[in-house]
Amino acid sequence: MAVSACVLLVACGCGADKAEKDVDAKSSQSSASTPAKESSATRTTEPSATPSGAARTEKPSAEPTGAQPAPRTREGAIKRYEQYLHALGREDIDTVCEVAGPAAKKAQDQGLGPCTSTYATVFQMISPTQKKALKTATVDPQRVAVRAPDKIEMPVEAVKSSATFTEDDLGSYTLEYLKNDWYITD
């Protein structure tokens, strides 16, 4: 029960706005400056300031790629919730706080700490066996409840994994379609 309460509290501690600002900041940075024109005799070959695709070590963004909104469907909500579950298992605080942003903001407004510190506590409460199971957990679409076109209930019973989860250690969540993607709001 303590983990479930902490997860709920954590889910309410961080905002989606941070992730959006990070994405905006990254997209506004220039990739490399262009040197002034030189004669071909004085030009030297320098390594590119932009890393190649193979050298990238960044984690994939939790944001939808490009200008395309996430699907406003049950399947879209399930995919987003599975992304959250996998991030929870990997202790990927950025993705967890991005997906749970609206719920985390509510909890923070009620006096809890920011998402990053609250989920750091939650990560410690999840057993290694449960973390491993969360990394590959899926959601049974038959157990998901569509409350409205933009509101989906994800009961703990819908989570399929090698470990068993209860309301006390994982809990159930509500996802809502906001700003062109699905977010945990409760």
DSSP assignment letter at 44: -
Calpha distance 9→110 (Å, rounded): 9
User: So what's the pLDDT on residue 112?
Assistant: 85
Give percent of the chain with pLDDT exceeding 70: 64
The per-residue pLDDT for range 32-81, each reduced to its tens digit, is: 333 343 344 444 444 444 334 433 344 444 444 555 889 999 999 999 99
Domain presence at residue 112: yes
Where residue 4 falls among pLDDT bands split at 50, 70, 90? very low
Domain presence at residue 61: no
User: So what's the pLDDT on residue 36?
Assistant: 40
Report H helices in the chain. 2-11, 16-28, 74-90, 93-99, 101-109, 115-125, 128-134
Domain presence at residue 40: no
User: So what's the pLDDT on residue 67?
Assistant: 58
User: What is the residue range of 109's domain?
Assistant: 2-23+74-184
B/e letters for 16-50, b = 16+ CB within 10 Å, e = fewer, are bebbeeeeeeeeeeeeeeeeeeeeeeeeeeeeeee
- For the chain, the average pLDDT equals 75
Domain presence at residue 47: no
Strand partners, 151: 148, 176
- Closest to 173 (Cα-Cα) out of 2, 1, 11, 14: 11
Q: What is the pTM of this model?
A: 0.66
Examine the pLDDT at 154 and tell me if it is beyond 60: yes
Overall number of domains in the chain: 1
Domain presence at residue 83: yes
The per-residue pLDDT for range 7-28, each reduced to its tens digit, is: 443 343 333 333 333 333 333 3
Domain presence at residue 140: yes
**Separation in Å, CA 74 to CA 42, 101, 138:** 60, 20, 14
Which residue is associated with the tokens 């193979």? 54
User: So what's the pLDDT on residue 60?
Assistant: 46
The per-residue pLDDT for range 94-142, each reduced to its tens digit, is: 999 999 999 999 988 998 889 998 888 889 999 999 999 999 999 999 9
Domain presence at residue 127: yes
DSSP assignment letter at 19: H
Domain presence at residue 87: yes
Where residue 169 falls among pLDDT bands split at 50, 70, 90? confident
